[in-house]
Copies of this chain bind each other. A is one copy, B any other.
Amino acid sequence: MFGFDLLILAPIGSILALSFAFYLALSVLKMDQGTDRMKEIAQAVRIGAQAYLKRQYVGVALFFVAVFCILMFMAVKNYLVIFVPFAFLTGGLFSGLSGFIGMNIATQSSNRTAAAAMKSLNSGLRVAFSSGAVMGLTVVGLGLLDLSIWYYFLNWYYSCHPIPLGTDKIAAITSTMLCFGMGASSQALFARVGGGIFTKAADVGADLVGKVEAGIPEDDPRNPAVIADNVGDNVGDVAGMGADLYESYVGSIVATSALGVAAGLGVAGVTVPMVMAAVGVVASIIGTFFVKSKEDASQSALLAALRKGVFASSFIVAVISFFLIKATLGVEHMGVYWSVLTGLLAGVLIGLCTEYYTSSGFKPTRFIADQSVTGPATVIIGGLAVGMMSTALPVLIVGIAILASYFLSGGAANFNSGLYGIAISAVGMLSTLGITLATDAYGPVADNAGGNAEMSHLPPEVRKRTDALDSLGNTTAATGKGFAIGSAALTALALIAAFRDQVGLYGKEMVLSLMNPNVLVGLFFGGMLPFFFCSMTMRAVGRAAGKIVVEVRRQFKEIAGLMEGKAKPDYARCVTIATAAAQKEMIMPSLLAVAAPIVVGLLIGVEAVAGLLTGATVCGFVLAVMMANSGGAWDNAKKYIEEGHHGGKGSLAHKAGVVGDTVGDPFKDTSGPSLNILIKLMSMVSIVFASFIIRNTFFK
């Protein structure tokens, strides 16, 4: 029962995280806001971002009401316990809330970061990083809060009410909590897909007319789409990334808890992931204090400063988990600890791989830059080849992590213990999310600070500092993407295993052999879905960008004195157009993700669903790594050319590099990251609809 007492650490960790986030937010808000011009620009971005989020939340609310009704109907028909619809709502609500808070603080921080950078590089770094930390800690704080509330409530409820399906209490609790991830997943899908479409439509639209046709530089205030572009960084990279990882975070924890029951670890097996998350919160808070830089530090020194924070947190988690697992699961289950370490290590290694393949400091990105000399075609082929090549190491790392965490946790003797090990390695990877997400959300803040400095015509030395911060942000964004993909893959595997248990609860034993044609066909369909999904999102970006292009051209033509800087463009209209387009375009991909497992399940059965989920996870993981890395490498190859290599800015090589960067935009910021959600949401939908599918399969 010692394990159960420790669980109190979960709500405590949650409150700690939220309090510290609140404290950081207050300290950021107290910072100097800079000149009136800086305030004005930040205000425009803020208004745009809020307008976008409001519109998105209205759309999402409609979706949630519809799904809530469906779930209620299913609960009434006894397909689900009555709490699932409500758990679905809270999951969506908390995920939305963390996106809202994170984005608000991010939009408050851009001008403050620029203003701080007027003083020193370190001040700028601190403000931007603190803003990122607010986001990171809010995500983990709200995630733990939601988990704690439901755990304590269900624990109380099932103590004095009958337990459904004839299982024991702890199984009933975890089986219900598992379903609540679907709310978080749905919210995440809209945030990632909608935000991803918005940000790239605005970016591409602004570039195509502004840079290419009108010949004005990036972030020029005369460009009507420039505010929309800055808004996009916030809604895509902050709110989208936050919702994505919120989902992985709670998803991996509830899946591990559910698998703990099957592994026969009892209450302790359920407690450990939640308590470990709480430990991670404390470690993340401590880690933030390690992030500081000397004045005029090099980029690698800045990166080292951020890394120090992450490594310190990881170290703390590694040490405390040892004692935690020893105390709760006992020495005979110390293997679980090694699984946790495996996950923690795999997360760090995948980040390093991503950096190698996307940073201009290494061979692959330079190879792409070299290819620019022979024109855009070779840049594209080179970038695709690098992206494809870059899938090898992350797959090897994840593969080894799966095997290691399975066998270290005793999978050879007990199959379910091994699955628990895989799941808890995902929890280990995500335990330091508070700080890894902070370094990630730092990126768009620094990017916007750079935009703010440019538009406010701040002096060159300040611009140089914000550039240094921004450039670092590109690296952390790339490693963050690798981390998000890796954790999504492990979480999805845990969810698939949990799906199998859930199906088992309804008395159906699945034959998941590769030689089962239903499984095989599921694998094929699942393998194809990521490609189909990417096609939809890439075309969506193209269509939305087309609308921005038309609007920007119209403003340049119709607003007299705009190009001379005498008149102001109508920023808000571009934001409105991008918002409307993103909302419209995200419907079809989202429906695909929700409908695919249900349709496949109803037609071919739950075994095909398991195949579908596995195929989508494998193919989606590989494709997501490829797209994120190709995109990142093209981006940095272009920047490398702009630094003066192969003829520098304006050369033919540079033009070829720009083509690569433009192709890479939807790769790395829309389609690639959306795949994370696709694979997790499909698993979640399958879990929630498991009983419905089992009872209504067409061909039995």
Complex Cα–Cα for A406 and B382 (A):
42
* Least CB separation from A419: chain B residue: B515
Q: Does A666 contact B (CB under 8 A)?
A: yes
> Could you tell me if B403 and A517 are in contact, using CB atoms closer than 8 angstroms?
yes
**Given A415-B515, A517-B411, A659-B377, A539 and B622 contact (CB-CB distance below 8 Å):** no
Q: Give the interface segment out of A118-126, A137-145, A613-621.
A: A613-621
- A531-575: which have CB < 8 Å to B? 531-532, 534-536, 538-539, 541-542, 549
Complex Cα–Cα for A542 and B388 (A):
15
Complex Cα–Cα for A519 and B614 (A):
11
> Could you tell me if A524 and B621 are in contact, using CB atoms closer than 8 angstroms?
yes
> Could you tell me if B517 and A378 are in contact, using CB atoms closer than 8 angstroms?
no
**A381: B residues at CB distance < 8 A:** 538, 541-542, 662-663, 666
> Could you tell me if A388 and B517 are in contact, using CB atoms closer than 8 angstroms?
no
Q: Does A334 contact B (CB under 8 A)?
A: no
**A382: B residues at CB distance < 8 A:** 539, 542
> Could you tell me if A391 and B532 are in contact, using CB atoms closer than 8 angstroms?
yes
Which of A212, A375, A385, A422 has its CB near the most chain B CB atoms (within 10 A)?
A385
Q: Does A693 contact B (CB under 8 A)?
A: no
Complex Cα–Cα for A673 and B415 (A):
40
Select one of B386, B398, B520 contacting A493, CB under 8 A. B520
Complex Cα–Cα for A386 and B400 (A):
35
- A402-459: which have CB < 8 Å to B? 402-403, 406-407, 411, 415, 418-419, 422
Q: Does A85 contact B (CB under 8 A)?
A: no
A498-530 interface code vs B (CB 8 A; 1 in, 0 out)? 001000000000001111011111011111100
Complex Cα–Cα for A444 and B119 (A):
68
**Given A395-B524, A618-B527, A663-B381, A406 and B375 contact (CB-CB distance below 8 Å):** no
**A380: B residues at CB distance < 8 A:** 380, 659, 663
Complex Cα–Cα for A395 and B392 (A):
25
A59-76 interface code vs B (CB 8 A; 1 in, 0 out)? 000000000000000000
> Could you tell me if B621 and A618 are in contact, using CB atoms closer than 8 angstroms?
no
**A403: B residues at CB distance < 8 A:** 517-518, 521, 604
- Distance from A240 Cβ to chain B, minimum over Cβ atoms (Å): 20
**A615: B residues at CB distance < 8 A:** 618
- Distance from A620 Cβ to chain B, minimum over Cβ atoms (Å): 9
Q: Does A376 contact B (CB under 8 A)?
A: yes
Complex Cα–Cα for A528 and B489 (A):
14
> Could you tell me if B611 and A388 are in contact, using CB atoms closer than 8 angstroms?
no
Q: Does A182 contact B (CB under 8 A)?
A: no
> Could you tell me if A395 and B527 are in contact, using CB atoms closer than 8 angstroms?
yes
Q: Does A38 contact B (CB under 8 A)?
A: no
A342-380 interface code vs B (CB 8 A; 1 in, 0 out)? 000000000000000000000000000001001111101
**Given A386-B535, A532-B389, A402 and B521 contact (CB-CB distance below 8 Å):** yes
**Given A377-B659, A542-B378, A614 and B500 contact (CB-CB distance below 8 Å):** no
How many copies of this chain does the complex contain? Answer: 2
Q: Does A626 contact B (CB under 8 A)?
A: yes
- Distance from A85 Cβ to chain B, minimum over Cβ atoms (Å): 29
> Could you tell me if A610 and B514 are in contact, using CB atoms closer than 8 angstroms?
yes
> Could you tell me if B377 and A663 are in contact, using CB atoms closer than 8 angstroms?
yes
Complex Cα–Cα for A520 and B404 (A):
13
Q: Does A316 contact B (CB under 8 A)?
A: no
Select one of B389, B418, B517, B531 contacting A406, CB under 8 A. B517
Complex Cα–Cα for A524 and B625 (A):
13
Q: Does A497 contact B (CB under 8 A)?
A: yes
A128-166 interface code vs B (CB 8 A; 1 in, 0 out)? 000000000000000000000000000000000000000
Q: Does A208 contact B (CB under 8 A)?
A: yes
**Given A385-B535, A395-B528, A528-B391, A517 and B402 contact (CB-CB distance below 8 Å):** yes
A-B contact pairs, 28 of them (CB 8 A): A208-B374, A371-B542, A376-B376, A377-B659, A381-B538, A381-B542, A381-B666, A382-B539, A384-B538, A385-B535, A391-B528, A392-B528, A395-B524, A395-B527, A398-B524, A399-B521, A402-B520, A403-B517, A403-B604, A406-B517, A411-B517, A419-B515, A493-B520, A523-B618, A524-B621, A527-B527, A527-B621, A531-B622
Closest 9 CB pairs of A and B: A388-B535, A377-B662, A395-B528, A527-B618, A389-B535, A406-B517, A388-B531, A512-B514, A399-B521
Q: A212-B375, A371-B542, A384-B538 are in contact. List 9 more A-B contacts (CB 8 A).
A: A377-B662, A378-B542, A381-B538, A388-B534, A399-B525, A403-B518, A419-B515, A523-B618, A659-B659
